[in-house]
């Protein structure tokens, strides 16, 4: 995994602004004056943790921070600058076209068309691109100001909740077995939707309530609802892995890919929860190899493995899906998806409203 991140960092260095000149040398300043029109601003050089507000400092990351309050265009242009968020941006930015290419290949291979039986797969794809795009925006633009930091990460939490529910819908219709559905009944999707919203609300509340250095209570507010949502979401997959025979990689079996997506997510949880390896090598993982970058890589792999597994389940159940579940249940599930999106966006915006009042009070107090 460190090797993958190192390769990406090397590519990023090759694409950094000064390396686009004839010298191809790596510069920490990230000045774009050699390649951009004079009307465009140039991102300022990165700085150390002591030179940015406490809100933007990450534990054990000592350098590579972008100065705050630059022109918005500087943060967009920092896509090609070497800083401590670069790989957080690129891991999900590159995952999106990889996912798109794989989708295109699956359309040709499975004869995918937009119909009732394919709606859960379509919602999974929409939710995947949603969380990837919102994650990219959060890590790319959050350094502009405290307001931007909170707003974009609240939107990032919306993307996570939407992705969770998109996975739940696809797992329910394509992966679940009859014996599991008889036990769970029709409560699975309402529970998954509620826990998806709760994970968004919990993350937004934790971000609003606690300041850096973050206490353990903040992590608990994030992890408990998110973990509950995942346990519900993955339950049809886990049941099938435990009860169905495996036929291996051949024959279009989806179970190996489901096992890989679960393993990837468990590694995601590890690196999200624990600041490793940077905790043991402070200042050495500022640009490459810190835990959140590894978390992003495994989350991208988890999504790709999910797509492979669900596409195989889709082919296996496509002809009988409408007969088994009925069009009404399929359409209600699909209607609930945008409703969850709206609820999560409203939750994020309401939290942002209170956050703005908090920032305004802080600004007046600091005068």
Read off the tokens for 25: 């040398």
> Is 292 annotated as contributing to ligand binding?
yes
> Is 147 annotated as contributing to ligand binding?
no
Read off the tokens for 111: 């004869």
> Is 139 annotated as contributing to ligand binding?
yes
Of the chain, the end-to-end C-alpha distance in Å amounts to 47
Yes or no: say if 221 and 262 are a contact pair by the CB < 8 Å rule. Answer: no
**In this structure, what are the phi and psi dihedrals at residue 257, rounded to the nearest 5 degrees?**
-70, -35
Task: Kindly give the residue spans of alpha helices, DSSP state H, lying in the chain.
Answer: 2-15, 72-77, 86-110, 119-141, 146-170, 178-184, 188-209, 216-243, 255-273, 291-317, 321-325, 327-366
Residues in the chain: 367
28 DSSP 8-state letter: S
Measure CA 339 to chain center: 20
Yes or no: say if 136 and 152 are a contact pair by the CB < 8 Å rule. Answer: no
Q: What is the rounded CA–CA span in Å between residue 4 and residue 138?
A: 22
- The conformational region for residue 159 under phi > 0 = left, psi -120 to 50 = alpha, else beta, is alpha
**In this structure, what are the phi and psi dihedrals at residue 203, rounded to the nearest 5 degrees?**
-65, -40
Q: What is the rounded CA–CA span in Å between residue 301 and residue 266?
A: 12
Q: Which residues line the annotated binding site?
A: 139, 292, 296
User: Binding site for Zn(2+): which residues?
Assistant: 139, 292, 296
């Amino acid at each position: 995994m460190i090797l993958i991140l190192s390769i990406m960092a090397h590519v990023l260095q090759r694409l950094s602004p000064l390396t686009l000149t004839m010298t191809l040398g790596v510069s920490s300043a990230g000045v774009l004056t050699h390649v951009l029109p004079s009307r465009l601003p140039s991102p300022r050089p990165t700085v150390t943790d002591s030179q940015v507000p406490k809100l933007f400092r990450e534990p054990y990351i000592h350098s590579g921070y972008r100065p705050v309050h630059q022109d918005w265009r500087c943060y967009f242009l920092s896509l090609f600058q070497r800083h401590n968020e670069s790989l957080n941006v690129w891991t999900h930015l590159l995952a999106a076209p990889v996912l798109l290419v794989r989708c295109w290949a699956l359309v040709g291979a499975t004869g995918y068309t937009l119909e009732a039986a394919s709606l859960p797969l379509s919602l999974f794809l929409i939710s995947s691109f949603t969380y990837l795009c919102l994650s990219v925006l959060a890590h790319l633009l959050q350094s502009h100001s405290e307001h931007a930091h909170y707003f974009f990460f609240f939107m990032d939490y919306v993307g996570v909740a939407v992705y969770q529910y998109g996975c739940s819908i696809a797992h329910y219709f394509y992966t679940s077995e009859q014996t599991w559905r008889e036990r769970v009944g029709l409560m699975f999707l309402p529970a998954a939707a509620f826990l998806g919203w709760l994970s968004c609300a919990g993350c937004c509340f934790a971000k609003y309530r606690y300041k850096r250095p973050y206490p353990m209570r903040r992590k608990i507010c994030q992890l408990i609802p998110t973990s509950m949502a995942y346990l519900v979401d993955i339950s049809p997959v886990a049941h099938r892995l435990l009860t169905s025979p495996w036929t291996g990689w051949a024959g279009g079996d989806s179970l190996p890919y489901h096992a890989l997506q679960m393993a990837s997510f468990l590694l995601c949880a590890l690196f999200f929860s624990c600041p490793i390896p940077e905790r043991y090598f402070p200042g050495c993982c500022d640009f490459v190899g810190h835990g959140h970058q590894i978390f992003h890589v495994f989350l991208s792999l988890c999504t790709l493995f999910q797509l492979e597994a669900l596409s195989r389940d889709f082919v296996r159940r496509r002809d009988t899906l409408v007969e088994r579940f009925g069009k009404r249940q399929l359409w209600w599930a699909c209607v609930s998806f945008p409703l969850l999106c709206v609820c999560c966006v409203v939750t994020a915006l309401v939290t942002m409203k209170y956050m703005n009042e908090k920032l305004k009070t802080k600004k007046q107090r600091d005068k």
